[in-house]
């Protein structure tokens, strides 16, 4: 699929990887529906987008909000032919952890579990469902969905919720790619390792350095390097139902 003149929705577009994806798409000639919950950062993104980015405030875990936002963006763009499911959150914690002083066993809470599953797995499900429906209804001949997973899908201690969501997203990439191929919809996933985003930039240098020791390339990826994998999925018409690891060789 050619990016020029494409119409793409990017969730979690206000910062980090999503911001990079939205701007790179716009620079490639696409029109972009940028979805996020941060109004101020969305406004800044729209300003930088050169008139090719329109913003929508939407909680991707809210079914009614996703249905409304997808319908609005599809109407405004006369159909969408691309979707990047990038929105995601962390609520890290061990499954159980004894308190050293009291011996009381602390547990990962249902709030931690449900929040991450809602945004990181239910969100892509809702967005993909509504995107695919409008593709079929509008008879759009070819379209692409890119799911942003993570190296944590292999199972990262302290991230039961996040690992489950990101593993599920790769499984759904396989399922959706098979189910939707008949409608001209390809589905791929990208699984980044550590990426140089505000989350990593806010870490203490010694903590970040320790983390990066496990990466054979001894550094984090740039958001542009992750974008290169996303772009490949969009542009390679024979790619579907698979996940590309962009993790510097990191093993978890």
Indicate the SS3 state at residue 96.
strand
Give the span between the Cα atoms of 82 and 84, in whole angstroms. Answer: 7
Burial of 184 (0-12, 13-18, 19+ CB in 10 A): middle
Helix (H, G, I), strand (E, B) or coil at 20: helix
Catalytic (active-site) positions: 162
Non-local (6+) Cβ contacts of 191 within 8 A are 149, 150, 151, 153, 166, 170, 243, 244, 245, 246, 247
DSSP 135-164: HHHTT-S-EEEEEE--GGGGT-TTBHHHHH
**CA-based nearest residue to 34, from 79, 98, 86, 91:** 86
Collapsed DSSP state (helix, strand, coil) of residue 57: strand
> Which of helix, strand or coil describes residue 60?
coil
* H helix or E strand, kind and range, residue 56: strand 53-57
* Kind of pairing between the strands at 105-107 and 96-98: antiparallel
Residue 44's SS3 state is helix
């Amino acid at each position: 699929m050619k990016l020029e003149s494409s119409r793409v929705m990017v969730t979690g577009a206000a910062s980090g990887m999503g911001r990079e994806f939205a701007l790179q798409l716009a620079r490639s000639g696409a029109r972009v529906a940028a979805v996020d919950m941060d109004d101020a950062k969305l406004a800044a993104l729209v300003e930088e987008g050169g008139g090719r980015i329109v913003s929508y405030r939407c909680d991707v875990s809210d079914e009614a909000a996703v249905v409304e936002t997808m319908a609005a963006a599809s109407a405004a763009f006369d159909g969408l032919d691309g979707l990047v499911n990038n929105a995601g959150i962390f609520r890290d914690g061990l499954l159980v952890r004894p308190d050293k002083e009291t011996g009381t066993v602390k547990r990962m809470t249902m709030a931690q579990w449900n929040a991450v599953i809602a945004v990181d797995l239910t969100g892509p499900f809702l967005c993909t469902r509504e995107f695919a429906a409008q593709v079929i209804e509008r008879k759009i001949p070819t379209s692409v969905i890119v799911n942003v997973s993570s190296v944590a899908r292999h199972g990262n201690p302290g991230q039961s919720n996040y690992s489950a969501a990101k593993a599920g997203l790769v499984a759904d990439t396989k399922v959706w790619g098979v189910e939707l191929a008949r409608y001209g919809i390809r589905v791929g996933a990208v699984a980044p390792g550590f990426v140089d985003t505000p989350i990593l930039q806010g870490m203490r240098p010694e903590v970040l350095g320790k983390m990066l020791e496990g990466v054979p390339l001894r550094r984090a990826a740039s958001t542009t390097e992750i974008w290169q994998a996303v772009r490949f999925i969009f542009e390679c018409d024979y790619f579907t139902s698979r996940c590309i690891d962009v993790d510097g060789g990191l093993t978890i």
